[in-house]
């Protein structure tokens, strides 16, 4: 379920497509070589002798190939700004390979958002009875923060932050969304609360109602 298939190719189609691509490439290279030959003749250097093998010359320099045959590539050299909070909501489960060394040390965190990578989390950060009763936590939401992702690993390294509660309930789901997007939902400070009317119960004065539009 974590694999997204972007395209599928039939072996026969791919074979014919490759042959067609090679034919086009050979034709363009042939034109390039003919153009070069004509320039040599025009310069008066001498005749150009071509053999059958020279009809489709091998070109090792990619600069001589037409743009339509080149695949543009790029490399990320620096991250200017980390937009994601590195926090994700998801579930934990035991690793599939019970004989590996990681099985005794780590669990697998699977985010609800599939754009976020899965991560190894330490079993020490998980509930104490999770290794013996993992099925009890199959529907429990957790918050995990990604702290590292090594180049030679398929999975990131995460740190468990807290347990939210049962999946599907409004409060845990809402807290998870707010945490993922970095929204501060903590209680207001005393300085903020002091700006509110202190004489309770507070009511809107008639003068204020007269100059405002009532949208209640």
Cβ within 8 Å of residue 144, ≥6 positions away = 87, 88, 90, 109, 111, 119, 121, 158, 159, 160, 161
* Cβ atoms of 89 and 141 closer than 8 Å: yes
Rounded Cα gap, residues 43 and 130, in angstroms: 82
What pLDDT sits at residue 71? Answer: 85
What pLDDT sits at residue 167? Answer: 92
The whole-model pTM stands at 0.55
What pLDDT sits at residue 138? Answer: 92
The per-residue pLDDT string of the chain (216 residues; one tens digit each, 9 = 90 and over) reads 566 666 655 555 444 555 666 677 777 777 766 655 555 555 555 555 555 555 545 566 767 778 888 888 999 898 898 888 899 999 999 998 888 888 989 999 999 999 999 999 999 999 999 999 999 999 999 999 999 999 889 999 999 999 999 999 999 999 999 999 989 999 999 999 999 988 888 888 899 999 999 888
- The residues facing 166 across adjacent strands are 140
* Cβ atoms of 106 and 47 closer than 8 Å: no
Question: Where are the chain's structural domains?
Answer: 87-181
What pLDDT sits at residue 14? Answer: 46
87-181 belongs to CATH 3.50.50.60: no
What pLDDT sits at residue 11? Answer: 52
Secondary structure letter of residue 80 according to DSSP: S
What pLDDT sits at residue 66? Answer: 81
Cβ within 8 Å of residue 153, ≥6 positions away = none
Secondary structure letter of residue 137 according to DSSP: G
Cβ-based neighbour number of residue 155 at 10 Å = 15
What pLDDT sits at residue 198? Answer: 87
Cα dist. 23→4, 19, 125 in Å? 32, 6, 59
What pLDDT sits at residue 63? Answer: 73
Residue 98 is encoded by which pair of tokens? 């019970």
* Cβ atoms of 109 and 156 closer than 8 Å: no
């Amino acid at each position: 379920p974590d694999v997204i298939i972007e395209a599928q190719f039939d072996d026969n189609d791919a074979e014919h497509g490759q042959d067609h691509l090679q034919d086009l490439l050979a034709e363009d290279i042939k034109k390039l070589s003919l153009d070069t030959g004509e320039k040599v003749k025009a310069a008066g250097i001498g005749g150009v002798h071509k053999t059958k093998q020279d009809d489709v010359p091998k070109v090792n320099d990619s600069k001589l190939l037409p743009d339509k045959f080149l695949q543009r590539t790029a490399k990320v050299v620096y991250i200017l700004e980390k937009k994601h909070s590195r926090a994700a909501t998801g579930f934990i489960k035991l690793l599939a390979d019970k004989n590996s060394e990681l099985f005794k040390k780590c669990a697998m965190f699977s985010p609800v958002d599939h754009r976020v990578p899965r991560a190894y989390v330490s079993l020490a950060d998980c509930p104490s009875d999770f290794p013996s009763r993992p099925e009890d936590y199959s529907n429990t939401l957790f918050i995990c923060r990604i702290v590292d992702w090594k180049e030679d690993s398929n999975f990131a390294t995460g740190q468990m932050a807290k347990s939210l509660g049962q999946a599907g309930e409004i409060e845990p789901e809402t807290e998870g969304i707010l945490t993922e997007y970095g929204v501060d939902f903590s209680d207001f400070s005393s300085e903020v609360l002091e700006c509110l009317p202190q004489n309770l119960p507070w009511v809107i004065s008639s003068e204020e109602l007269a100059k405002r539009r009532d949208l209640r």
